Amino acid sequence: MIHETINFTKDGRVNLQTYIPDVYREDIPLRPAMIACPGGGWEFHGIAEGEGVALTFVEEGYAGFVLNYSLGEHASFPNPLVEISWAIKTVREHASEWHIDPNKIVVSGFSAGATVAALSATQWMDARIVEALGGERSQYRPNAAVLAYGVYDMSTIFSGVDLASIPKEVAIEQGMKMGFTLGQIVANLAPEVNVVNYVTQDTVPTFFFQSITDGFVPISNPLKLAEKLDENKVPFEMHIFGSGRHGMSVNTKLVDPETDIDESASQWLPLCVKWLEGLLG
């Protein structure tokens, strides 16, 4: 296993961790890549939704990666979008070295990380990415996105209140009361964070799921996203489960030996793997 950390910021605050099988043979096809963006309310990075996801997809034949993106006061837009774009570019630039198919790079995200992955899926062509990182726009396009219990319309986590209509400090205070430490990603109220408004025909194929018992993210989020994807003829697959908790990740003993496995919601993983096989080949 090639397990190393590649820093984006000089202080290592933003970095990409690799989980790459080091078995290379001519008869082994190039692997797809899975870049996982863990959740944590923009306050921390959850191990289960980072390393746990990367290792799970390694078992499925992928090269795994974890992006530790900006948190708290550093999370102003467009930082998260630039950081996930850098991760995609990094994987593409090392594709030959790491035995990866550069046309099979998937971004995945869980909770807050789903917002990061969704930013990439919908806004990979944003000019600010090239301004920050150079190169060509095509370098930053993921080939698919996998989103888990994410917020795609920030106003939904504030009891339906339009964030633009209330003072920033009130929005943050309400978010804190609900268990969200949203940092600058909400404080600057950048419209791009509401990714449902940025879905176009250029949005990449997307798999996403949530449970109605999530407890944190309203079910309106995946429904709104599905509606926009359908309007723009973007291929997608959505699953709404009748049970399952927020932060469940892949919901296996590998990730959390003490977890109570939800047999229903856990089906998202094989469903996702099958969907990606059909999409990527």
pLDDT of the residue at 25: 67
Closest of 269, 211, 279 to residue 57, by C-alpha: 269
CB atoms within 10 A of CB 202: 15
Q: What is the pLDDT of residue 67?
A: 98
Cα(143)–Cα(134) distance, rounded to whole angstroms? 20
| pLDDT tens string 190-220 | 889 899 999 999 999 999 999 998 888 889 9
Q: Which residues contact 139 (CB under 8 A, 6 or more apart)?
A: 88, 89, 92
pTM, two decimals, is 0.89
Amino acid letter, residue 280:
L
Classify residue 172 by its DSSP letter.
H
- CB proximity list for 258: less than 8 A, separation 6 or greater: none
pLDDT at 178: 44
- The mean of the pLDDT values for the chain is 87
What structural domains does the chain harbor?
5-155+190-275 (3.40.50.1820)
Higher pLDDT, 29 or 229: 229
- Among left, alpha and beta (phi > 0; psi -120 to 50; other), residue 61 is left
pLDDT digits (tens, 9 = 90+) for 176-195: 444 444 556 665 668 898 99
